[in-house]
Amino acid sequence: MTELDQELMRDLIEFSNRYGKDPRYVLAGGGNTSAKSGGVMRVKASGTRLATIGESGFVAMDRGALMSMFGKDYPADDAERESAALADMMGSVMPGSSGRPSVECMLHALFPQRYVLHLHPALVNGMTCARGGESACRELFGDEAVWIPLTKPGYTLAKVCADAFKLSESQTGRTPNLLFMQNHGVIVAAETVAELDALMDMVTRRIGERVGAHAPASIEDAGEPLESFDLPLKVAPALRMLYARAVTGMDNGNAIVSFRAKGPTERFVRATNYDESIMPLLKPFNPDQIVYCKAAPLILNEGHDVEERFAAFVNANGYPPKIAILPGRCVFALGKTKAEADTALDLFDDAAKIARYADAFGGYLPLTDEFTRFILNWEVENYRQKVSFMGGSAKRMEGKVCVVTGAAQGFGEGIARAIAREGGYVVCADMNAAGAKDVADSLNVQYGAGTASDVYGLSVNVADEASVARMVGETVLTYGGLDVMVACAGIAIAGGLDTMTLDRFNKVAAVNYAGYYLCAKYAADVMKRQRAAAPTRTGDIIEINSKSGLEGSKANFAYAGSKFGGIGLTQSFALELAEFGVKVNAICPGNLLDGPLWSDPEKGLFRQYLDAGKVPGAKTVADVRAFYEAKVPLGRGCTIEDVARAVFYIVEQQYETGQALPVTGGQVMLN
């Protein structure tokens, strides 16, 4: 690559990333960019994302070979024509370049300018998806722009644009650098990045002024508290199971349901005159919306049988819904992953924005049914979606929705991190809200947005019923359900009969015993709902107990008693929930000697046990540690990874419930 080409690539990557990271311009990684040098055009590969694209994300193509396609005769049949054109397009890829070029590469080649930017902003599509869009385009841009009526994408669109360019050039004497496509988006082209930016700014400014002059109703809202979402909390687990079965063929398959009750869609979905207000969102506006949201939403009025309505939708459309609406309440998006579901929600919000902006241009204009059917079956768009959400091989907790209490530190934090590492989704809950948020934030950075949630920054007290109910409710509204409840939050207050106070004793019991009961109670309710929609679905409730739940502990009876009680709860819950496919087990770790519960210099158990005289002859914290290490046949304390592996085992096995699994290095051996 020459020095000039290297500079061109740097510019191409810079403006691609800049626009790709701005949600005003790009959603779901959409949009395309390209740059030309000599006879070579480098264009974004299909399925890549502008926000993160680098040099390897662009495909080098022979522009001359692409331009020669405009002179060829292709079959009249849609499928045959696009297949033949796709073969020629792939044949234009330069030797040594990899990836599949964007289907719009012919459009990019058509522009002689060095840089091309193709976007689908909601503001712009407010005009392109409106009944008066074409006339507004003439008023706002005159002969500066070329307008293309609704045209099937691919070679067909490129050929129509080529003919329109010739006409424009004959009328204006200059090459177009601004193209609007009905129900699609905008393309700007320029010789420099600065000129490209100026063109895009001009487009958004002029359209924005027209929209602002019409002063449409606000699309913002204040939302509602969780307590008003009783119906969504009941519906989401059923939708999740039905979608999982539809896309995986299994009751134990995984899926995610994302929830939204505020934002752009609220004006349409939650209005009192719902039947009239929802009309703009019943049909798609552009190809992106079809790719990620499909062609129609599932409507679930109160009193509807969710399973019957879901099945009727699949029978009528041939695919499961991606969007489900509870009129007057909320919108759900369904996907195989959190990223897929959230993307569908974002695109549906985008449709609501388009409908709002279209008021300034004569009202909304959705795609025709014929065009929609074409996009639904178009191989190119199906390929783009597939590549966009392509993942790696399945991991041990792949797709499982998990709550971990006590997740801000120690065993809880370690288990949360292990679950995320193995492909699970994690709600990090803790009294220490800031600590839980830090853990969740770090997991989202490491494993991708949506991997973890911190219950929206709330402090979670497992001994408080309202707090636990909120935690589980937020989990359902974030991921659509719950598969694994890991009750790890706990406290240990050492002391003998002569030093322990009733207040401290009750505090230990409230967290370790009653807290486990509350977590199991609310988790089981969600798991039962999932089981009702998926009759062989299983769920897991796991108490992180202790070796002190298997044998008494001198001068630590409050803790040991609460843990003995926890095993009694485990066995009792297991008997009660077996018919609902919910397995309930306890893990009894040995001493996490390197964790904060033990090693905190002021409140840790080493210090507590030393002060309480629990270890005969101990003079220092080091003496206490050596005493406990000597109790373990394998000669060391328990680690977080030891416990995480036990969690994975319990979830994976399908024939154990009501068990207390020791992870003690042989310190405690069951009879």
Interatomic CA distance for residues 320 and 311, integer angstroms: 8
β-strands 401-405, 425-429: how paired? Answer: parallel
Q: Is 281 exposed, middle or buried (0-12, 13-18, 19+ CB in 10 A)?
A: buried
β-strands 582-589, 660-663: how paired? Answer: parallel
Per residue, the 3-state secondary structure of 388-429, as one string, reads: HCCCCCCCCCCCCEEEEECCCCHHHHHHHHHHHHCCCEEEEE
CB 251 within 8 A of CB 203: no
DSSP letters for 32-69: EEEEEETTEEEEEBTT--TTT--GGGEEEEEHHHHHHG
Interatomic CA distance for residues 192 and 113, integer angstroms: 9
Interatomic CA distance for residues 282 and 295, integer angstroms: 8
Interatomic CA distance for residues 232 and 460, integer angstroms: 22
Both tokens assigned to 596: 């904060």
Tell me which residues are annotated as active site: 559
Both tokens assigned to 406: 């006590």
Q: For the range 522-525, what are the long-range contacts, defined as Cβ-Cβ under 8 Å and sequence gap of 24 or more? A: 522/468, 522/469, 522/471, 522/472, 523/403, 523/472, 523/482, 523/485, 524/573, 524/577, 524/580, 524/582, 525/472
Backbone angles phi, psi at 118, to 5 degrees: -120, 120
- The kind and range of the H/E element at 190 are strand 185-190
Backbone angles phi, psi at 37, to 5 degrees: -145, 115
- In 3D space, the residue among 478, 492, 429 whose CA is nearest the CA of residue 449 turns out to be 478
CB 408 within 8 A of CB 436: yes
- In 3D space, the residue among 621, 580, 565 whose CA is nearest the CA of residue 598 turns out to be 621
CB 404 within 8 A of CB 486: yes
Per residue, the 3-state secondary structure of 257-307, as one string, reads: EEEECCCCCHHHHCCCCHHHHCHHHCCCCCHHHHHHHCCCCEECCCCCCHH
